[in-house]
Amino acid sequence: MPKTLNYSIIGLEDYTISFEIYCSLCEIQKFCKWGKDEPFSIKISCGDLNRAKEKVKFEQLQKLQKTEDVSVSYEELIKKVKINLQGIFSEIWKTKIKAHKEEIRCLDSRKVEPMLVSQQGQDWWQDFNTTMKNINNECEKIT
């Protein structure tokens, strides 16, 4: 069962996700730049999430406008748009977490057994995904 990572609101629409719970649990983690004194954390903005959703919506609308009949109204097109939150969360994961694998030894298969890294990454991703769903729900309440 995935855990929800610690997250806190740091502004009107900004959140910080802390990976502090991983700093003491992972044996490999003791070699990481991040530790108990300075746990790895990232900032997530509701504005960034909303822009990502709008971008996906815009791209899908453009595709639909090319394939649908011109008589189809904008409202009907909007109903056909499906926003894949997993894709958005995955992009955040890639750019804000996986990009730091030098500092996060548990996610660097060049320094640690690839099978262990794969399992660790899967666990982190599940926890991150659950946390992002919670943050997205909070952001939707604000906007």
Query: pLDDT tens, 2-32?
Result: 566 888 888 888 999 887 776 555 565 555 5
Taking the C-alpha atoms of residue 105 and residue 114, their distance in angstroms, rounded to an integer, is: 11
Amino acid at 112: V
The model's pTM = 0.77
Domain residue spans of the chain? 6-48+84-138
> Which one-letter DSSP state was computed for residue 17?
E
Torsion angle (degrees, nearest 10) of CA 85, 89, 95, 100 = -170
And the tokens for 42? 């990232």
Secondary structure class of 141 (helix, strand, coil): helix
Per-residue pLDDT of the chain (143 residues; tens, 9 = 90+): 456 688 888 888 899 988 777 655 556 555 556 555 667 788 999 999 999 999 999 998 888 888 888 888 888 888 888 889 999 999 998 888 877 765 565 566 666 667 766 777 788 889 899 999 999 999 998 86
> Which one-letter DSSP state was computed for residue 28?
G
